[in-house]
């Protein structure tokens, strides 16, 4: 199954990282929409219903883990696959906090 031409939501507060991911995905034929904050990610996911979300963990406002929890508690966004993307290693505490939201 190919996802080319599908919409992917990129959630990243770092402009250079966001551009890199966007350029790679668009080169491969994907459509993209972008959010810089967890709040915007939740709003855009509800509005646009992307096929996939690439979510940074460390975001301004609500972090990626909290945003993921909101997405999982909403029936309209619950089934959207989310891949956590972060430049820093998650602490043991952050990983254990993320586990319920990831499920």
0.85 exceeded by the pTM? no
Where is 83: in which H helix or E strand? strand 82-85
49: its two tokens? 């219903």
Contact by Cβ (8 Å): 5, 30? yes
Contacts of 35 by beta carbon, 8 Å cutoff, 6+ apart: 9, 10, 11, 41, 43, 44
Tell me: the pLDDT tens digits for 16-68?
A: 999 999 999 999 999 999 999 999 999 999 999 999 999 999 999 999 999 99
Distance of alpha carbon 103 from alpha carbon 97, whole angstroms: 11
**Confidence class for position 98, pLDDT limits 50, 70, 90:** low
Q: Which domains does the chain have, with CATH numbers?
A: 7-102 (3.40.50.2300)
Q: For strand 52-56 and strand 7-11, is the pairing parallel, antiparallel, or unpaired?
A: parallel
| pLDDT tens sequence across 83-95 | 998 876 545 455 5
Query: What is the per-residue pLDDT across 69-79, written as a single tens digit (0 to 9) for each?
Result: 999 999 999 99
């Amino acid at each position: 199954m190919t996802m080319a031409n599908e919409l992917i939501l990129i959630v990243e507060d770092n402009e250079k990282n966001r551009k890199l991911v966007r350029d790679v995905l668009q080169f491969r034929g994907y459509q993209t929409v972008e959010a810089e904050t967890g709040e915007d990610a939740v709003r855009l996911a509800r509005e646009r219903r992307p096929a996939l979300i690439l979510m940074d963990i460390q975001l301004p406002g609500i972090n990626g883990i909290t945003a993921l929890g909101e997405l999982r508690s909403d029936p309209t966004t619950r089934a959207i696959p989310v891949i956590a993307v972060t430049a820093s290693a998650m602490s043991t505490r952050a990983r254990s906090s993320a586990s319920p939201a990831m499920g």
